[in-house]
Amino acid sequence: MVIDGIGTFTPETPEEQRSWSRVKTFVSQQPGAFSRDASIGGHVTGSAFVLSPDRRAVLLTHHRKLNRWLQLGGHCDGIADVPFVALKEAYEESGLSRIGFIQRAVLDVDIHTIPARGAEPEHLHYDIRYLLQAETGEIAASAESHALAWVPLAELESVTDAPSILRMRDKVLRRA
């Protein structure tokens, strides 16, 4: 199934099918879906699950605002090309000098609630996640992070219990 500006995704479970349908409905009915406007109830974001050159570890950021280990990614800010956004965010947040797509299809979809903060109301992130690989460069944390770390896929539970991150890891391992 294809969504313009996002790409293709093959849901593996009924839950994934429902999430993909929700994304498709939101994007088709909301002209500001790729904006950062929280007042419309949500927006599309792009994430990068970046594997090490040997594909045995994933690069995670210890997010400054959320104080949690997460995959790289961020807001589309009006750019209706989510694979580009995921790659751009991976570069900006990692310091790596070369990153490439392992596959262009969507790896995972996660719809989650962002709590109200200041003047911004509670809203949804329709997070579209892609599988990438670091090719060259040294990591360097951006201002958005406390730290970056290569976390071995087999040890991911030592830094996070987030089901969506563990789900991405499991998909990678099944496809290896």
12-26: per-residue pLDDT in tens?
999 999 999 999 999
The model's pTM is 0.95
Per-residue model confidence (pLDDT) at position 57: 97
- Band of residue 1 on the pLDDT scale cut at 50, 70, 90: confident
pLDDT, average across residues 34-60: 97
Q: What is the mean pLDDT of the chain?
A: 95
Q: What tokens were used for 159?
A: 């830094």
User: Which DSSP letter does residue 34 get?
Assistant: T
